[in-house]
Structure 1
């Protein structure tokens, strides 16, 4: 058994000496391919990321006029949080209790904070 292990060891040393360059370039090619695949995946993720657009005051008011919403953010009369129209939490507020604000700043000036799980733009 020990003779077999010694022979395998000698054979592996010979194999390493004969193919040292091939093994090096094979590993380099593999690592290069993995790096290229990672960069390709990263570029796809960056392209899929949506861009944030800051609306000017006039455009926000124009959007509110055409969207049918009386304001940009809403809150409950008794609540301490404000919501965007697309937030699920706004559905729990009765229409009679909704207060609409033209901007986030106006809602914050009234002492409200944004609802958790309702991050905006």
Structure 2
């Protein structure tokens, strides 16, 4: 049976990277590692093989939306051509993500029980 521990580890690592970089200078440097780690977690969720259970499908869909929402919030903080945002201005959005991490980790643990027994062969 497939386990969500690698995905949980990536989400926890992303949160730790945000916390450690929250007060460090340049926003691009501060958010590049957490953004990369989050994309790895999203790929793990996207490749997760579920059993035929509507509760598991709903939980997986909720997690996908949540993690993609975090990615969108991080992307909104990164500099664009006409807009520059400081790390101080981005802090509220990042703190909001950090508040949501414990719930997401609990949901990832719950998702493990909906894994397909055939996942080990895929």
The TM tier, using the shorter chain, reads under 0.3
TM-score when normalising by structure 2: 0.24
TM-score when normalising by structure 1: 0.24
Larger radius of gyration: 1
Relative contact order (C-alpha < 8 Å, sep 6+): which is higher? Answer: 2
